[in-house]
Structure 1
Amino acid sequence: MYISGAVMANELGLPDIGLTTLTEVAQRGGQISRMTDLPTLIDGDTGFGEPMNVARTIQVLEDAGVSGVHLEDQVNPKRCGHLDGKDVVDTKTAVNRIRAAVQARRDPDFVIMARTDIRGVEGLQASLDRAKALQDAGADAIFAEAMADLGEFEAMRAAVQVPILANMTEFGKSDLFTVQQLQDVGVNMVIFPVSLQRIAMGAIERGLDVLAATGTLVSEVPSMQTRARLYELVDYAAYGEFDADVFTFDLRNNRS
């Protein structure tokens, strides 16, 4: 399960340019991880500072209960990976971030993924070289951002031995390949990072337009999540049963 940095920023009414704090990210990551038995991978941006800050980031996220994090090689403050005008740090700085993360890790099962945004700045070969350096620094997986086509994903697969991740974000630099297409060229993981937020926010805006135009949302009810389904998702009945088991005393004969 992927926890998007863009979505976390947008939920706070902020653009995805590195304005969220480690505290905010860890809190949201913990809330989501608590509600699923699936592994959770969280966006750690640039690690919230220099190598010592990166080390603390890893341990705070471990404590929050997430399963892994990806750290990128952009200059802080960062930009969305599919926007122009990005800057990346030099290889030494990028490698030091990953080394610090690996050294700080206490749980050997906690995944440290290295993201590189250098493809959009210096081209494919630079991306391949950077990925190899990040792998050698101890990264468990590589997130190569903004690959142009399937051939570039295939080249990345050939360049490193660790798993690689593809980002299928809408309105970005990459075409929206299918999971099968990506799997066929050796991609191990695919994320759809902002898709559900875009679907939800599109529905919200359309609903508000209907409400403003008609004064009612009756026409939108068939497309809404039902109350019963919401209660099922949050396990409402189990909370009620727990409450009933705990508060079993009777105060009717208690003296006033």
Structure 2
Amino acid sequence: MKKTTMLRKLISSDKLIQVIGANDGLTAILTEKNGFDALWASGLAISTSAGVPDASILTMTEFLNAASYMNKASNLPVIADCDTGFGGVNNIIRMVSEYEAAGIAGVCIEDKNFPKRNSFLEGHELADMHEFSAKIRLAKSAQKDPDFVVIARLESLIAGKGMEDAMNRAMAYSEAGADLILVHSKSKSADEIIMFAHEWKKKGIPTPLVVVPTTYYTINKDQLEEIGIKMVIYANQLLRSAVPAMNDALKTLYEAGTTAPLEEKMSSVKEVFSIVKTEEIDTVEDLYSRYIQNHREYRTTIV
């Protein structure tokens, strides 16, 4: 089954889709092993792994390459964080074409002006609602696979523009053809997300909602399902968990001058080999060696 179809089936199902933000093949493999539904090719995680801020610094090609590694390493569908769409209307068309050709299941673009700032910083400039709606319409018209997903990311609450602006924009993006609406918030409580979800349900708009509970992290999946959320993205938790773990390991190693204090906390080399199926290399090489030997024997016999 194509990954676009897998994602579309998940969206059509009754279950809450649980998505993990990742940045490479290893995080993609581990996410799949732990039972999650899909991967988020996180702009923050990919940028951070390149050692640069999440501020429209990396190119589309760099983001696409990272998403492609994840897509090839895992059987899960990948949803790519594409910032503001990498430019104007022709960039949007190329973005959809390139991501679709690479087998990525969907893309998400946000309604901020280029260059974007990470949502948890200050100083956001929202795009014109009508111009962004046109971007969504254009992205949908550019796709060839009917199951390819385009998510419109709504930043009104992040920018402090209020619930009315958020609702007006969400309705406009839904009318433009967005497959899902990502309503983003950096509030410490889930109250404004809950309020938005209730208002959305009252209006009877069928476009499903996506949330990213980074700051309002106490809300659980059952509560999200109860208010009608279709997809939850844990966008940066793997990255943020890895940083202290690596820092602790480096500090311990530097101070101890030996890896001995770390050994019980680390994965074994054998486990790392297993994660990326290193044993398959030996299997292929063995088959190749046997082919060469058989071919030699055969050629010797007929000569």
- TM-score, scaled relative to structure 1: 0.92
Kindly state the Cα deviation for residue 153 of structure 1 after the two structures are TM-superposed: 4.2
**Inter-partner Cα distance in structure 1 for 2:112 and 2:237:** 23
After TM superposition, list the pairs within 5 Å mapping 1:1-256 onto structure 2: 1-121=39-159, 122-146=161-185, 148=187, 149-150=190-191, 151-155=194-198, 157-158=200-201, 159=203, 160-169=205-214, 172=215, 174-248=216-290, 249-250=292-293
Kindly state the Cα deviation for residue 156 of structure 1 after the two structures are TM-superposed: 5.5
CA RMSD after TM alignment = 1.9
Kindly state the Cα deviation for residue 111 of structure 1 after the two structures are TM-superposed: 0.7
Shift in alpha-carbon separation, 1:218–1:15, aligned structure 2, 3 A? same
Runs of 4+ in 1 over 3 A off after TM superposition: 250-253
Q: 143-152 vs 11-20, which deviates more?
A: 143-152
Query: Which residue pairs with 2:301 in the alignment?
Result: none
**Inter-partner Cα distance in structure 1 for 2:195 and 2:41:** 25
Kindly state the Cα deviation for residue 232 of structure 1 after the two structures are TM-superposed: 1.6
Kindly state the Cα deviation for residue 13 of structure 1 after the two structures are TM-superposed: 0.4
**Inter-partner Cα distance in structure 1 for 2:185 and 2:172:** 18
**Inter-partner Cα distance in structure 1 for 2:77 and 2:143:** 17
Q: Give the count of matched residue pairs.
A: 250
**Inter-partner Cα distance in structure 2 for 1:131 and 1:205:** 41
Unaligned runs of 5+ in 1: none
**Inter-partner Cα distance in structure 2 for 1:222 and 1:60:** 44
- For 2:197, the aligned partner's letter is E
Kindly state the Cα deviation for residue 175 of structure 1 after the two structures are TM-superposed: 4.5
Kindly state the Cα deviation for residue 205 of structure 1 after the two structures are TM-superposed: 0.3
- CA-to-aligned-CA distance 1:65-84 (integer Å, 9 cap, x gap): 21111011101000111222
Shift in alpha-carbon separation, 1:246–1:252, aligned structure 2, 3 A? closer
- For 2:254, the aligned partner's letter is A
Question: Between the two proteins, what is the percent identity of the paired residues?
Answer: 28
**Inter-partner Cα distance in structure 2 for 1:71 and 1:164:** 14
Kindly state the Cα deviation for residue 147 of structure 1 after the two structures are TM-superposed: 6.1
Kindly state the Cα deviation for residue 209 of structure 1 after the two structures are TM-superposed: 0.8
1:142 touches 1:165 (CA, 8 Å); kept in 2?
Answer: yes
- CA-to-aligned-CA distance 1:34-69 (integer Å, 9 cap, x gap): 111111111011110011111110111112221111
2:163 touches 2:196 (CA, 8 Å); kept in 1?
Answer: no
Kindly state the Cα deviation for residue 98 of structure 1 after the two structures are TM-superposed: 0.5
**Inter-partner Cα distance in structure 2 for 1:118 and 1:34:** 34
1:157 touches 1:185 (CA, 8 Å); kept in 2?
Answer: no
Unaligned runs of 5+ in 2: 1-38, 298-303
- For 2:265, the aligned partner's letter is S
- CA-to-aligned-CA distance 1:96-126 (integer Å, 9 cap, x gap): 1111110110111111000011123311111
Which structure is higher in RCO with an 8 Å CA cutoff and minimum separation 6?
2
- For 1:137, the aligned partner's letter is A
Kindly state the Cα deviation for residue 228 of structure 1 after the two structures are TM-superposed: 2.1
1:44 touches 1:71 (CA, 8 Å); kept in 2?
Answer: yes
- For 2:130, the aligned partner's letter is K
